[in-house]
Amino acid sequence: MSTYSYLSALAIMDISVLLVGLLRLWVAKITGSDVQHVSDVTCKLVQFFGYVCSDSSVWLIITVTTERYIAVCYPLKTQVFCKIERAWKMSLLPIVVICAINCHFFFTVSIQQKLGKAECAAGPSYELLVNNVWPWVDAVIYSFLPFVIIGVLNGFIIRKISQAEKERKRFLQVKHQSARVIRRYKSSDNNKKLTTMLLSVSFTFLLTTIPMNIALIFTAFWNKQPDNDVEGAAIFHLIKTITELLMYVNHSINFFLYCATGQKFRRSLVKLFCKKRFANFGNERTFFTSIEQAHSP
């Protein structure tokens, strides 16, 4: 299915965010040296790839949500829009656009000497852009606009699923349904399971990223505050740390959401790690039947 192409691209971007962002911060805490402060090259690359990977991850969620909206609300058009080849092209489109938006980091940031320390920061000519304007732009790209798009699309999806569920119950109350009708509703059940999994990804994104962008906007105002407010600075640093952790949770939780809500994902995961046992049981269905019997009271 084309949906899994989007999820594969999303996984790549999420891993990249964790490597460029969270792993870098962890290593910096252990060694006392952050790679982005080493040279102009690492400064520019870390800033560029950090924003590109995180923004691309968000817009891939929008892309897969849009595809799910088409599949649920306009199922007859899935043969046209929901193809694997088209999915990979549509995955590249937001990444290319986001790269173009964030390419300014290659000339707006560099190593600056502040209080005797080398620090990756905005150049003197671009401080207004990077410190005051860019937080608002990034908030729109990373959270506010995706929040609106994903919220609206999920609303339509949930409404359509609710209507389809009512229709399904009404039809199944009638006895002696044709095999065609039964196959149709089995297919609808599979579609519903996949949609539930993707809805969980979308809503988790909304809950974990909004605090980060509120903190980014607050940073723009905080930069104008006097430096002698030590207590306020400590509180601000704590809030910013918590919101950053929530952001990284968003980029690391999808695996667990797939396990919790995706039956096919769980089966594939078990199959991946239990190949020898599959061979002993002969086939997948026998294997899972044995698991259910072992856990039955």
CA distance 26 to 23: 5
The larger pLDDT score, comparing residue 189 to residue 2, is at 2
Q: What CA–CA distance (Å, rounded) separates 110 from 137?
A: 20
Q: Kindly report, residue by residue over 53-74, the tens digit of the pLDDT.
A: 999 999 999 998 888 888 888 8
DSSP 162-190: HHHHHHHHHHHTSSS--HHHHHHHHHHHH
Label residue 10 exposed, middle or buried (CB < 10 Å: 0-12, 13-18, 19+): buried
Mean pLDDT on 246-256: 88
Cα 187 to Cα 7, 160, 171, 261, 283, distances in angstroms: 21, 16, 15, 17, 23
Instruction: Please tell me the class of the 2-276 domain.
Output: mainly alpha
Q: Provide the residue ranges of all domains of the chain, joining segments of one domain with +.
A: 2-276
Confidence of residue 212 (pLDDT cuts 50, 70, 90): confident
Other C-beta atoms within 10 Å of 211: how many? 18
Q: Answer whether residue 184 shows pLDDT above 60.
A: no
* pLDDT tens digits, one per residue of 114-160: 777 888 889 888 988 888 888 888 888 988 898 889 888 888 888 88
State which amino acid sits at residue 61: I
